A and B are shown apart, each in its own frame.
Chain A
Amino acid sequence: MKKILLSGLLLFLAMTGLAIAGPPETLTAAYQQFNALFTGEWQQYGQLFTGLQKDLFPRLFLLVITIVPVFFFLHYVAIGPMSFPHDGKQVYCYTLFVRIIHWLAAVSFSLLVLTGLLVIFAKLLGGGSLGIWARIVHLVTAVIFSASVIPMFLFWVREMLPAVHDLKWMLIMGGYLSKEQKAVPAGKFNAGQKMWFWLATIGGAVMAVTGYFLYSHQGNIDTLRLSAIIHNVLGAAMVALFLVHLYMSLAAIKGSLRSMISGYKAEAELKILHPRFKY
């Protein structure tokens, strides 16, 4: 009896679906309308976001924060850092204002990276209030970084414009893959520094906008989903180049950290790493 009922029901449903496809008064059409209301747009960005967050983003960040340091460790062991005599003539490269802005951006950006990674890997730390505080610190430092990146963009943008010799610099990887010290094609800033500059300023602006959406939950749901995707992908790129910048300034070129503190660079270093720089 139950079987007959069931097959009868199926036949009924099929018939009603075929006979009255258009008018929204039918049950089937009404359910279809509700379905479109609930899940219609989900297939577009909701599914994309779910898939990416489930399978890609945490792994992407894990890859970045493991592979990049391993690569640099190997570089440090195999090729070693560059070292230049610092007792010769000194060249004044960075004014006090530039250095203050740089360190304001540097400290806030470091905190952004740290708290961002804390949110992504919050499960390892149990989540809860630690994650909530990481998000609040992320917000405050984002405001400080956004404020400091504007003057930074203005005083460096002219020297950061791409030039033809940047391609050559990229091809020889800035000369970091060989032990011998040969002059590389670079002006005041080399192609690597330029990439970092544009990613930090323009990319930083994009991060600020998408981050505003994510933090405030303003805008429609697809805006939020796209913001989350952009914020994560761009964030991974920024973390990667942040680690590069960290390695270059702290380890790969001996004494380069001092130039951002005192403002002076040794002429011997500039002749090799920034030969086109007219000072």
Chain B
Amino acid sequence: MGRMKFLCDIERCIDCSGCVVACKEGNHIPVGVNRRRVITIGQGQPGEKSISVACMHCSDAPCIAVCPVDCIYQRDDGIVLHDKEACIGCGYCFMACPFGAPQFPGGQVFGARGAMDKCTFCAGGPEETFSVKERKLYGQNRIAEGKVPLCAAMCATKSLLAGDADEISDVYRERVFKRGSGANAWGWGKAYKDK
């Protein structure tokens, strides 16, 4: 059994936010909820870098540790999923998460939060696979279809990699070799400054 992971190659990410749109559209995410977002540092300056981030499907995930109803669980392949029908919207997972992954739709009675929503690695939820209920509550189940998650599938620069940890780190390692690093790195400096 593999270990599913996301890996974002920040040398390739161009902050197009295609992953965010793909996730939101493909999974019919409610307004105000973003399962995935792109963060940029040094915006507008040479050397600007962007990274796409969602639930990191942590080992020993803090959200699982704090949930008072134990509705968050981890599959054998490392994907962290949750049961929306057991969630009481207390928000503890949001406070425990280092990445801000758990999101809460608003607009309920007395301004209460609804059930938590987060990236499912496009692996649905605890409902029956490919059922209408699963699709309605959690979005697509592309892992069961044998596909990579929507965000990684649509990434134009292929900076966002999703899949088995060993395989995607191999892909990334080869890329780093080809690009070189340090003085030999092919990047901004070599292209525009030290020709």
A-B CB proximity, top 5 nearest: A131-B88, A127-B69, A25-B47, A42-B98, A127-B86
Q: In the docked arrangement, what's the CA distance between A81 and B72, Å?
A: 47
Contact (A132, B89) CB under 8 Å given A24-B41, A27-B11, A30-B10: yes
Please name all residues of chain B whose beta carbon is closer than 8 Å to the beta carbon of A139 when the two chains form the complex.
110, 112
Residue A140 at the B interface, CB < 8 A? yes
Q: In the docked arrangement, what's the CA distance between A28 and B112, Å?
A: 42
Contact (A27, B68) CB under 8 Å given A46-B98, A53-B92: no
Candidates A16, A38, A50; contact of B66 at CB < 8 Å: A50
Please name all residues of chain A whose beta carbon is closer than 8 Å to the beta carbon of B110 when the two chains form the complex.
136, 139-140
Q: In the docked arrangement, what's the CA distance between A50 and B92, Å?
A: 9
Which of the candidate stretches B15-23, B136-144, B146-154, B174-182 sits at the interface with the other chain?
Answer: B174-182
| A224/B90 in contact, CB under 8 A | no
Contact (A135, B112) CB under 8 Å given A9-B177, A24-B42, A120-B68: yes
Candidates A9, A37, A49; contact of B173 at CB < 8 Å: A9
CB distance from B6 to the nearest CB of A (A): 13
| A53/B66 in contact, CB under 8 A | yes
What secondary structure prevails in chain A residues at the interface with B? helix
Per-position binary interface string of chain A over residues 165-198, scored 1 when its CB falls under 8 Å from any chain B CB and 0 otherwise: 0000000000000000000000000000000000
Residue B192 at the A interface, CB < 8 A? no
Please name all residues of chain A whose beta carbon is closer than 8 Å to the beta carbon of B86 when the two chains form the complex.
126-128
| B188/A12 in contact, CB under 8 A | no
| B39/A37 in contact, CB under 8 A | yes
Contact (A38, B53) CB under 8 Å given A5-B177, A225-B95: yes
CB distance from A226 to the nearest CB of B (A): 10
| A37/B41 in contact, CB under 8 A | yes
Q: In the docked arrangement, what's the CA distance between A130 and B66, Å?
A: 19
Q: In the docked arrangement, what's the CA distance between A54 and B61, Å?
A: 11
B residues with CB within 8 A of A: 10-11, 39, 41-42, 46-47, 49, 51, 53, 62, 65-66, 68-71, 85-92, 94-100, 104, 109-113, 173, 176-177, 181-182, 188-189
Please name all residues of chain A whose beta carbon is closer than 8 Å to the beta carbon of B112 when the two chains form the complex.
132, 135-136, 139, 215
Candidates B11, B42, B62, B90; contact of A131 at CB < 8 Å: B90
Q: In the docked arrangement, what's the CA distance between A31 and B11, Å?
A: 10
CB distance from A237 to the nearest CB of B (A): 19
| A135/B90 in contact, CB under 8 A | yes
Please name all residues of chain A whose beta carbon is closer than 8 Å to the beta carbon of B46 when the two chains form the complex.
25
| B89/A135 in contact, CB under 8 A | yes
Residue A158 at the B interface, CB < 8 A? no
Q: In the docked arrangement, what's the CA distance between A25 and B97, Å?
A: 28
Q: In the docked arrangement, what's the CA distance between A123 and B188, Å?
A: 54
Residue A216 at the B interface, CB < 8 A? yes
| A50/B96 in contact, CB under 8 A | yes
Within 8 A of B (CB), among A24-73: 24-25, 27, 30-31, 33-34, 37-39, 42, 46, 49-50, 53-54, 58
Q: In the docked arrangement, what's the CA distance between A121 and B39, Å?
A: 37
Of all chain A residues, the one with the shortest Cβ separation from B88 is A131
CB distance from B22 to the nearest CB of A (A): 21
Within 8 A of B (CB), among A106-158: 119-123, 126-128, 130-132, 134-136, 139-140
Please name all residues of chain A whose beta carbon is closer than 8 Å to the beta carbon of B39 when the two chains form the complex.
34, 37
Of all chain A residues, the one with the shortest Cβ separation from B61 is A50
Q: A16-B182, A34-B49, A139-B110 are in contact. List 15 more A-B contacts (CB 8 A).
A: A9-B173, A25-B47, A49-B96, A50-B66, A122-B69, A126-B86, A127-B68, A127-B88, A128-B86, A132-B112, A140-B110, A214-B91, A215-B111, A217-B94, A221-B100
| B181/A27 in contact, CB under 8 A | yes
Please name all residues of chain A whose beta carbon is closer than 8 Å to the beta carbon of B109 when the two chains form the complex.
136
Contact (A30, B88) CB under 8 Å given A38-B99, A53-B65, A136-B110: no
| A128/B85 in contact, CB under 8 A | yes
Residue A248 at the B interface, CB < 8 A? no
Of all chain A residues, the one with the shortest Cβ separation from B91 is A217
Contact (A132, B66) CB under 8 Å given A30-B49, A46-B96: no
